Each structure stands twice: as C-alpha cells, then as structure tokens.
Amino acid sequence: MTDFGDSLSSAGLEGKGDKELQEFLMVEKQKAQFNAQIHEFNDFCWEKCVDKPSNKLDSKTETCLTNCVDRFIDVSLLITNRFAQLLQKSGGM
Amino acid sequence: MDNLSSLSGAQKDELMDQVKQQIAVANAQELLTKMTEKCFKKCISKPGTSLDSSEQKCVAMCMDRYMDSWNLISKAYSMRIQKERGRM
C-alpha cells in the first residue's frame, strides 16, 4: 500500500497529467492508510481492553477502546514534539 | 504501461474498479488474518484433538466482538482526525 506514489511515476502518469486518475489514487491511498491504521489500533487495543469475548462489548470495554485510540495518538504527538525539541537542542544532530 | 495516460473513459473506470476491488480484498484478508490470530489466542487455551463446541462458540463470539471493536475504533479514530483538523 505504500508505493502507489512510486508506481505512479514509473507508470509515467505523473507529469502526463491524468488528473482524474491521480486524484482517485490519492484518495484511495488515503483510505487504505486509514484502514491500515485501524487494523493496527484494533490489534493492540484489543489486547489491552478485551477480556473473554461475550455477547456484546460492555460499556467499560467500549470506553477502554475509545480511550486507547485517543491516548495512543496523544502519546504519538507528545513523543514527536519532545523528540523534535531534543533534536533542536542538540543542534539538529 | 506507457499508454496509461491515453486510456479511454471506460478503461479508466474499469481500472478504478479494479483498484478498489483489490484494496477491498486486501482489507478483508488483513481482517481475516488478524481475527484468526486474536480469536485463536482468546479461545483456544489448550488445543485438544478437536474444536469442542464451547471453543467454537467462543470463536464465533470473538469474531463478532472483533468486528464491533474494529468499527468502534474506526469511529474513534475519525472523530479524533476531525478534532485535530479543527485545531489547525
């Protein structure tokens, strides 16, 4: 899913300006990335939040799953920002 | 491949349909693989000589819950993306 861009240019589409196809592929690529991200979230949030499978997800589990996504993104943002700060402090490596 | 830019409208539609279909298949495969792995782990603690009925029931329930969870997370993730967009 990661190399649509590469195959675009190797297929000679880029520059030749088939706008419609390019836009279509961009949108599909974004959708695919979104889906891949959900698969990943579901993978580890399932481990963290779901006990024995029962007749339905109870509300505690649902809250845990929702929080799991939000907190993961928080951590990701926090680490990105702090890492950028560290890089800056050390003079850009 | 260098004729891609001179596709007719119908050819283009066909290409787009194919791309969409391939993505859908890949997505379903990913879900299937993940579900099998997760539900095996949750439901079969000690593999016996056959899948007994309680294990089968557990696997069926686990599948349904895994998809519930997928949908819930999809919702949470899109809401978060929207929130972050609003912040920019």
Domain ranges within chain A, ordered by starting residue? 4-89
Residue with tokens 């195959």: A7
Q: What integer pLDDT is reported at residue A18 of this predicted model? A: 80
Distance from CA of A26 to the nearest CA of B (A): 12
Q: What integer pLDDT is reported at residue A1 of this predicted model? A: 43
Q: What is the pLDDT of residues B24-39, one digit of tens each?
A: 999 999 999 999 999 9
Query: Could you give the C-alpha distances from B87 to B16, B41, B83, in angstroms and in order?
Result: 34, 40, 6
Flag if B58 and A53 touch (Cβ within 8 Å): yes
Pick among A8, A69, A72, A76 to test the B interface (most B CBs inside 10 A): A69
Domain A4-89 has CATH 1.10.540.10: no
Q: How far apart are CA A77 and CA B68, in angstroms?
A: 27
Q: How far apart are CA A72 and CA A63, in angstroms?
A: 14
Which percentage of chain A shows pLDDT scores above 70?
80
Contact A33, B44 (CB under 8 A): no
Residue B42 tokens, joined: 């949750």
pTM above 0.90, yes or no: no
Contact B33, A24 (CB under 8 A): no
Give contacts of B73 with chain A, Cβ < 8 Å. Answer: 38, 41-42, 45, 65-66, 68-69
Average pLDDT over residues B8-12: 85
Q: Could you tell me the domains of chain B?
A: 4-87 (1.10.287.810)
Which percentage of chain A shows pLDDT scores above 90?
71
